A and B are shown apart, each in its own frame.
Chain A
Amino acid sequence: MKTFANLLGSAALLGASMAHAGELEVTHWWTSGGEAAAVAEFAKAFDATGNTWVDGAIAGSGGTARPIIISRILGGDPMGATQLNHGRQAEELVEAGLMLDLTELADAEGWRDIVQPTSLLDSCTLDGKIYCVPVNIHSWQWIWLSHKAYADAGVDVPTNWDEFVAAAPALEAAGKIPLAMGQQPWQSNGAFGVMAIAIAGIDAWSKVTIEKDAEAAAGPEYAKVFQAAADARAFSANSKVQDWNQATNMVITGQAGGQIMGDWAQGEFQIAEQVAGVDYTCLPGLGVNEIISTGGDAFYFPKNDDPAVTEAQLKLASVMLSKEVQVAFNLKKGSLPVRGDIDLAAANDCMQKGLEILASGAILPDGNQTLSPDTQGQIEDLMVEFWNDPSYSAADAQAAYAAIIADAD
């Protein structure tokens, strides 16, 4: 670690000479239409303060962006700010003293009072100091159901998971795919997480995901989850798409009954001019447990020796949390704002549902916040294999899962 600190020392010197005051390079992976429009709101507001937003967009995901971020920091030429999922992913960077401490600004602006739920800020906090700005809330706990598919099959639209399971044979008989699933690992893992909270219940889920209790992971509650996942696997056997939005499209067109996907899916329904309650239904917590997890995106600010850059970084942090920017950004992004004190009248039905649950306090931390990316990666590998290999039994998968939880840090 010592050699590394030395390396960083010389790195910081280099960085200082390269940065331009007032210009802030921001790395993010928001490149699709709606996302880019949301980012533009940040840029616009930041430029209005007399600074300049230099856009460093890289499509892909954290996996593409992370080597860039680390290389830039290692190479002594850090960017001004960077998107990262808050929680465990950036922990080590903060511990190594590479990120700017925002505590002073947070205290001055009273972030503790305005950020809702406060757990979001906790994920940004290490040893009582705040290192990141949460900008939005995304929740995973939704199932999206196609009214057309159920009408075609002649059954009622389910109101919870059990009804969904019961209606599946009718859908299949009508030539529909009961459950649409993209094949990317994060989707398999996410769907499983949603089922875990809904079926195993919050206590069991917390034991496994927060306390990393391997016994609970091997226990009877989770056995039910794996059995349900095995059912879901059979329902989704014919959905051969990769991307999540292709799967969402199957729900929109009525080829599939439903999809388990985060709240970002409603953007797709919006673009397709579908109306919640008429064309589709969204059920939080699979209709079993009305609860949402509060994942989301956050921005971190790598340390820089140039006071002018630091000043610009603090300015940007402040801008990102301001009322107007929060409203403008989240409406474009289709996510919930991190401030409880603003009015989102323009939000649609599903978003309103989410806001209500949020206000009622039925919230959980996101898996990203409690499990390390390494553990997440292992679970993703397991889940993607389980979802795609019908011969992989629920019991075997559960045993493998418990082993991963036992090793989790």
Chain B
Amino acid sequence: MDNAITPRGPKPRRRLSRANIMLYGTLIVVAMYYALPLYVMVVTSLKGMPEIRLGNVFSPPVEITFQPWVKAWSEACTGINCDGLSRGFWNSVQILIPSVFLSIVIASINGYALANWRFKGADVFFTILILGAFIPYQVMLYPIVIILREMGLYGSLWGLVLVHTVFGMPILTLLFRNYFTAIPEELFKAARVDGAGFWGIYFRIMLPMSLPIFVVAMILQVTGIWNDFLFGVIYTRPEIYPMTVQLNNIVNSVQGVKEYNVNMAATLLTGLVPLIIYFASGKLFVRGIAAGAVKG
């Protein structure tokens, strides 16, 4: 699978051919389009309010100020608590870690069972699961409240972890199933001959080969769970409200002057965790996707 990351396209011939100029030109223009909003966010978050009212969104700050960042992190008010995003940061971490862990463990085992240990009816459940990915979340809010209450989990951290696990399951299971299907069957058969069972093969053969797909699953889940607002606010109590609740309060306050610079700083601060994970995992992500999405 290592060679899966080298380019396979037709080789461009000369360094400065017209095709090459076109190629890099297009890529640079496209990259600028994609980078523009991030640039706008960063630039705006470093300006003072008077400057924002006067200039356009693209002009660089004349006078750089970090005050919006300080305010977003530790001073912006949510109701009567004025301690900014810092209030929800650790809550978000607390929600994130078990949710990502549990959802990935369960989805990987599901995918493994579906790929290598197919039993009658498995496909039916899998199809239902995929269809579930298309149901708007809002519809299921209330019935899930009832389910969680019956389980005695409503209002607790674990209730929320369970909800994230359930809603992450369709796409993750699809990815794991495809990935495990692509692992050469000979490996699996050989292990069977050696007498390894369901769990033996999972832990000794499948897991060690699956780092890339775990990275993909982790990225998808970190992004989804970290950015979630709705579930975090509905299924928990104020003590464990995630960071997005403060972000919502900073950004959506209906009255008073809109502090765009603080909004942008808060936005960037909230997006920092998924962004860092993206930038850090770079190549592994493509490798994982290559293996998880491609074969199937």
Contact = CB atoms under 8 A, between A and B. Distances in A.
Q: Do A and B bind each other?
A: yes
Given A58-B248, A60-B248, A68 B77 contact: no
Contacts of A7: 146, 149
A77 B80 contact: no
B17 interface: no
B256 A56 contact: no
Interface in B104-160: 141-142, 145-146, 148-149, 152, 154-155
A59 B248 contact: yes
B149 A60 contact: no
A267 B257 CA distance: 11
Contact of A67 (B146, B234, B251, B253): B234
Interface residues of B, number: 31
Contacts of A243: 254, 258
A53 B81 CA distance: 11
Contacts of A64: 248, 252
B218 interface: no
Contacts of A43: 80
Interface in A325-359: none
Given A74-B142, A76-B149, A55 B238 contact: yes
A67 B141 contact: yes
B234 A33 contact: no
B145 A74 contact: yes
Given A58-B245, A77-B155, A32 B253 contact: yes
Contacts of B248: 58-60, 64
Contacts of A10: 149
A36 B235 contact: no
B149 A31 contact: no
Interface string A30-46: 11111110011001000
Contacts of B245: 58
A70 interface: yes
A216 B78 CA distance: 45
B252 A60 contact: yes
Nearest to A42: B80
Q: Could you say which of B248, B254, B258 has the most chain A C-beta atoms within 10 Å of its C-beta? A: B254
Contacts of A118: none
B237 A71 contact: no
Given A14-B149, A32-B254, A77-B154, A57 B234 contact: no
Q: Could you say which of A25, A36, A60 has the most chain B C-beta atoms within 10 Å of its C-beta? A: A36
Interface string A8-40: 001100100010000001001111111110011
A59 B146 contact: no
Interface residues on chain A, size class = 35 or more
Contacts of B249: 31, 57-59
Contacts of A60: 248, 252, 254
A293 B254 CA distance: 22
B255 interface: yes
A32 B250 CA distance: 9
Interface in B255-280: 255-258
Nearest to B78: A57
A39 B80 contact: yes
A57 B254 CA distance: 13
Contacts of A34: 255-256
A71 B80 contact: no
B80 A54 contact: no
Given A54-B238, A68-B234, A77-B154, A59 B252 contact: yes
24 contacts: A7-B146, A14-B154, A25-B237, A28-B79, A30-B79, A31-B78, A34-B255, A40-B80, A54-B238, A56-B79, A57-B78, A59-B78, A59-B249, A60-B248, A60-B254, A64-B248, A67-B141, A71-B142, A74-B142, A74-B149, A76-B154, A77-B155, A243-B254, A267-B255
Given A59-B78, A74-B146, A271-B257, 13 more contacts: A14-B149, A18-B155, A31-B252, A32-B253, A36-B77, A36-B79, A55-B81, A59-B250, A59-B251, A67-B234, A71-B141, A71-B235, A77-B237
Lowest 10 CB-CB distances: which A-B pairs, in order? A57-B79, A32-B255, A75-B154, A32-B256, A59-B249, A77-B155, A59-B252, A56-B238, A55-B79, A32-B253
